[in-house]
Amino acid sequence: MLNERSKLILNLLLEKRKVNLEETAKLLGVTERTIRNDLAKIDGFLTENNLTNLKKETMINYSIENEQSTTIHRVLNKIHADSEKQIDYWEEPIYRLGFLYNKLFWSEQRITIESLEKELFVSRSTINNDLKKLKNMAKEMSIDILFEKNKGLYLLGKEEKLRILYFHFIDLFEQYNYNLEISNDDEAAILTYWIRKVEEELMIEISYSSFQRLIPIMRTITGRIQQGKKVTINSKNLNPKSSYEMDIIDNNCVILEKYFNIIIPPSEVVFISKQIYRSNLIKNEVVYQGYQVNLDIIVNSCIKEISKLLKIDLTLDKELFKHLALHFQTTITKDDYEIAHLITKETFKDIKAVHEHIYTVVKRVMQDIGRREHIPFNNEMEWLFITLHIVSSIEKIKDRIAEELNVILICHMGIGTSQFLKYQLNHYFKFKPRIVTKKILSEEANKADMIISTIHLQDFNIPYIQVTPYVTEVDIKNIQRLEKQIIEEKITFQEEGVWKGRSEPMLKDLLTEETIETKVSVNDWEEAIIYSGKILEKTGVITNEYTQAMVEAVKNFGPYIVIAPRIALAHASSKDGVHQIGMSLITLDEGVEFGNKDNDPVRIVICLAAIDHHTHLKALSELVEELNNEEFVNMLLHSDKEEIVKVINQK
């Protein structure tokens, strides 16, 4: 049976005639492997209905025959009609567990086993066996399923835990095309509108599957509040987002309060915030723009340390930085229980076996970072997700190297045969071979990475392989083997040489008497940023365009730059007028408001100009570490620039 995601992909195929594996995975917020499994289900569906299977045009593109559209639409409509009829869900054990928990979760009264027998059409022994399994599952979440004599069953546990287990069953129920929460289209519409509005104001984009999951989650939250069952968690223990983000969510909760006739207390706003940021994000402008400084440091440290251990330079992969930043931000708010259910044990074993070395390196690095940063990066599934990101980055680097390989082609049978040989190679490989004659081979050979020839060659130090004029399968495999060897040599660096020439200045190199001003008088936050920017303009580090970009960033993104009480770290994109890495620091005689109610007023403004994702990290890490020291902050506020420089130079 096709699940909802498979149906969606099939409808995309009917609409567009073709889908791309990578794009579809990104759209739906799942792995490419999951999409391949869905495509296999679609092929099974087509076969069952005597239709032609999908056409696999390349490794990543799939299409469907136009002539089949009408028939497929008719079959899908029939499936939809049949799904409206009663289905024997109770034949599936996992459905029964979800059904039992659903009844216990929502019921205002005790539930009797007799009533469950009638509703599920199964025996008392089956119900008891299911309850035993459900009790074991609930115990993992510190939830008890208790029985009161002559009354029935009920749940006992913290409201937050009760909901999280319920959300787990919401995920499982997707395969049955069965939605427990949304009772009418109006509810679905208002919740969809609400999530999109919050997305827009938070400047994030949630993946398709996470968005669809959030709708019943939000209905669960509003439903529980309607029943008078609210979370009583301490917001400080929940890793809440900044007050600015919380205010956005809180302000939008008015919409839900009016529609569902409820009052949403602060603890529920924190809980809702956590559910939003537990979602798989495919975009987060705040993260992309670098306004979460500690996250930047962790991500860059992770990439650099993994690069060193693998001896593969991953630090230039901007996409890897974005993906890990999004992943870490989401992970920090997730519970281990949730992460464990995102990948099956079988998939875990398969991926770990194929990429064992990379997995081991990731595990080591994440454990080190976790201990250093006091973040619980100690989950096997977490290590596996990061492994997949690293593998993807390495494959991209290999593809780029393959495309850039300088390959010389020599054929002794004339231009026609040479062109045919080149055409065959273009079909199988990413590199673009150049046809040269034996006469000029000696001139070109030194520039080449590989020589492919139909004749025997002597006295060449360049990797060389002899093939037949009409390439055979054996020839292709031999070339692939040599290409792989060359790529492995190119991608692997010697540790002592890779970072050579990459200047990573320290804090004392950037904060000097030229770049520090104390007791500065300004009227507002905008003047404070402009003043700190002007210092770097005078030293030639940035242009006025960068200073204005820093101001616009606060207007567009809010006061994310206020990173701690009394401290703002202003910066913008390196594309906006940065000539070289630089940093300035000013202290204000009077604090100014940036709009961050937790950390205002600001009295220290730091301006950072970066040229990439990593060169500034050593200095920034030093600065952040010092700013966590109250004595250092007080020293900045009560010293002149000569004294500040002296203290920094002693560090």
**Rg of the chain over all Cα atoms, to the nearest angstrom:** 30
Q: Is the pLDDT of residue 174 over 70?
A: no
Distance CA 323, CA 318 (A): 9
Span of 22-31, 214-223, 393-402, 430-439 with lowest mean pLDDT: 22-31
Between 317 and 209, where is the model more confident?
317
Highest mean pLDDT among 284-298, 438-452, 619-633: 619-633
Q: What pLDDT does 570 receive?
A: 87
Span of 72-81, 91-100, 456-465 with lowest mean pLDDT: 72-81
Helix-, strand-, coil-residue percentages of the chain, each rounded to 5: 60, 10, 30
Which amino acid belongs to residue 235?
S
CB burial readout 126-145, b (16+ within 10 A) else e: bbeebbeebeebbeebebeb
Share of the chain above pLDDT 70, in %: 79
For 69-122, the DSSP string reads HHHHHHHHHHHHHHHTS---GGGSHHHHHHHHHHHHHH-SS-B-HHHHHHHHT-
Whose tokens are 């938070």? That residue is 202
Between 526 and 621, where is the model more confident?
526
**pLDDT band at 228; cut points 50, 70, 90:** very high
What residue ranges do the domains of the chain occupy? 4-83, 89-176, 185-279, 290-380, 405-491, 507-650
Span of 388-392, 485-489, 625-629 with lowest mean pLDDT: 625-629
Q: What pLDDT does 181 receive?
A: 52
First-to-last alpha carbon distance for the chain, in angstroms, is 65
Q: What pLDDT does 4 receive?
A: 67
The answer to whether 143 touches 185, Cβ cutoff 8 Å, is no
Cβ neighbors of 323 (< 8 A, separation 6 or more) are 389
Q: Which helix (H) or strand (E) holds 568?
A: strand 567-570
Between 272 and 172, where is the model more confident?
272
The answer to whether 398 touches 372, Cβ cutoff 8 Å, is no
Q: Which residues is 466 bridged to in the sheet?
A: 453
Q: What pLDDT does 227 receive?
A: 93
Q: What pLDDT does 154 receive?
A: 93
Query: 427 an active-site residue?
Result: no
Share of the chain above pLDDT 90, in %: 17
Q: Is the pLDDT of residue 239 over 50?
A: no
| C-alpha separations of 329 from 105, 138, 151, 198 in Å | 30, 27, 45, 18
Distance CA 38, CA 28 (A): 12
What is the average pLDDT across 296-303? 82
Q: Is the pLDDT of residue 58 over 70?
A: no
Go through the chain and tell me how many residues it has.
Answer: 651
Between 418 and 518, where is the model more confident?
518
Q: CATH says 405-491 is which class?
A: alpha beta
* CATH of region 89-176, choose from 3.40.50.300, 1.10.10.10, 3.30.70.20, 2.40.50.100: 1.10.10.10
Average pLDDT, the chain: 79
Span of 68-82, 157-171, 178-192 with lowest mean pLDDT: 68-82
Q: Residue 552's Cα: distance from chain center in Å?
A: 26
Q: What pLDDT does 493 receive?
A: 64
3-state SS string over 433-497? CEECCHHHHHHHHCCCCEEEECCCCCCCCCCEEECCCCCCHHHHHHHHHHHHHHHHHHHECCHHH
* DSSP E strands, 225-382: 281-284
Q: β-strands 152-156, 144-148: how paired? A: antiparallel
Catalytic pick from 323, 571, 613, 616?
A: 571
582: burial class by Cβ within 10 Å (0-12, 13-18, 19+)? buried
Q: What pLDDT does 524 receive?
A: 92
Q: What pLDDT does 83 receive?
A: 47
Cβ neighbors of 173 (< 8 A, separation 6 or more) are 95, 98, 179, 180
Q: What pLDDT does 65 receive?
A: 62
Q: Is the pLDDT of residue 59 over 70?
A: no
**pLDDT band at 85; cut points 50, 70, 90:** very low
Estimate the crossing angle of helix 93-106 against helix 124-139, to 10 degrees: 70
| C-alpha separations of 391 from 53, 370, 431, 436 in Å | 30, 21, 21, 36
Distance CA 25, CA 34 (A): 8
Distance CA 480, CA 237 (A): 54
Q: Which residues is 633 bridged to in the sheet?
A: none
What is the average pLDDT across 449-471? 81
Between 465 and 329, where is the model more confident?
465
**pLDDT band at 565; cut points 50, 70, 90:** confident
Q: What pLDDT does 142 receive?
A: 92
Q: What pLDDT does 220 receive?
A: 92
Highest mean pLDDT among 13-27, 287-301, 414-428: 414-428
Q: What is the pTM of this model?
A: 0.55
Nearest to 242 by CA among 522, 598, 626: 598
What is the average pLDDT across 618-627? 78
88-139 pLDDT, tens digit each: 555 567 778 888 998 999 998 999 988 888 877 778 888 889 999 999 989 9
Q: What pLDDT does 342 receive?
A: 47
**pLDDT band at 82; cut points 50, 70, 90:** very low
Between 80 and 554, where is the model more confident?
554
191-202 pLDDT, tens digit each: 999 999 988 888
Q: What pLDDT does 225 receive?
A: 95
Q: What pLDDT does 184 receive?
A: 66
Between 75 and 49, where is the model more confident?
49
Highest mean pLDDT among 333-347, 421-435, 568-582: 421-435
For 268-279, the DSSP string reads HHHHHHHHHHHS
How many alpha carbons lie under 13 Å from residue 81 in its C-beta half-sphere? 6
Q: Is the pLDDT of residue 292 over 70?
A: no
What is the average pLDDT across 610-618? 71
Distance CA 469, CA 420 (A): 9
Q: What is the CATH number of domain 4-83?
A: 1.10.10.10
Q: Which helix (H) or strand (E) holds 563?
A: strand 562-564
Distance CA 221, CA 235 (A): 17
Q: What pLDDT does 562 receive?
A: 84
Q: What pLDDT does 31 receive?
A: 72
Q: What pLDDT does 230 receive?
A: 92
The answer to whether 569 touches 583, Cβ cutoff 8 Å, is no
Q: What is the CATH number of domain 507-650?
A: 3.40.930.10
Q: What pLDDT does 425 receive?
A: 87
493-523 pLDDT, tens digit each: 654 454 454 567 888 888 888 988 989 899 9
Q: β-strands 567-570, 602-609: how paired? A: parallel
How many C-beta neighbours within 10 Å does residue 378 have?
13
How many alpha carbons lie under 13 Å from residue 485 in its C-beta half-sphere? 12
Whose tokens are 């092929």? That residue is 43
Q: What pLDDT does 630 receive?
A: 86
Q: Which residues is 407 bridged to in the sheet?
A: 450
Q: What pLDDT does 51 receive?
A: 75
Cβ neighbors of 476 (< 8 A, separation 6 or more) are 428
> Are 89-176 and 507-650 in the same CATH fold?
no
